[in-house]
A and B are shown apart, each in its own frame.
Chain A
Amino acid sequence: EVLLVESGGGLIQPGGSLRLSCAASGFSVSDNYMSWVRQAPGKGLEWVSAIYTGDRTDYADSVKARFTISRDNSKNTLFLQMNNLRVDDAAMYFCAGDTTSVTAWRYWGQGTLVTVSS
């Protein structure tokens, strides 16, 4: 059974930094295609970032140069380093992955909530 478990969310002031983690079991983070997707309270889904073949990465324009996606193969964990956080970054952050598709994901975590407020 595939399990993705996010952690690292919390309350942070604007301009601050957070590092989200997504620990995987039954699924190799290093060998597959991973993304972060977020959802502001009561709003729709927004893709944030992806990491895939050869550790190539892509980002939404809204987070480019502020967020960094990475993975630790030894820990089988996906990360999202978020710097210079803004109020509009507040959302539930989901990690998502798949074995065959970079861009559509069968496996999702339960999410971790990021609140950005002074």
Chain B
Amino acid sequence: DIQMTQSPSSVSASVGDRVTITCRASQGISSWVAWYQQKPGKAPKLLIYEASSLQSGVPSRFSGSGSGTDFTLTISSLQPEDFATYFCQQCNSFPLTFGGGTKVEIK
């Protein structure tokens, strides 16, 4: 199985800050990574697919990059509605696996 190691597990940031979350795959997975945002009590929301493609309707302050084993989700200017937990997911092969999550908290 492909392991996804996500870091940091939590980050404290202020509105307007740039936030970067990383995920490392245990083996090369080309660009087969998705990123999700989840708020308490809600279902996950797809932000990014195929490492860098922005899902329709998602603000452009969200961006994804990377290929092979190392991937990054960046929020260029944190907004109040962005405080949530973020998960990466490898989409390369079954069984599909997720990173452990990053909780973005208010500083």
Residues of chain B whose beta carbon lies under 8 Å from any beta carbon of chain A: 1, 32, 34, 36, 38, 42-46, 49-50, 55, 87, 89, 91-92, 94-101
- Selecting from A7-15, A74-82, A98-106, the interface stretch reads A98-106
Interface residues on A, range: 20 to 34
User: Number of residue pairs across A and B with beta carbons under 8 Å?
Assistant: 56
Question: What per-residue 1/0 map shows which CB atoms of A21-54 lie under 8 Å from chain B?
Answer: 0000000000000010100000011110010000
**Which residues A55-75 have CB closer than 8 A to chain B?**
58-61
B91 touches A111 (CB 8 A): no
CA–CA, A105 to B34, complex, Å?
9
Residues in B neighbouring A101, C-beta threshold 8 A: 49, 91
A45 touches B95 (CB 8 A): no
Residues in B neighbouring A94, C-beta threshold 8 A: 43-44
Apart from A45-B38, A94-B43, A103-B96, 5 more pairs, CB < 8 Å: A44-B98, A47-B89, A104-B46, A105-B46, A108-B45
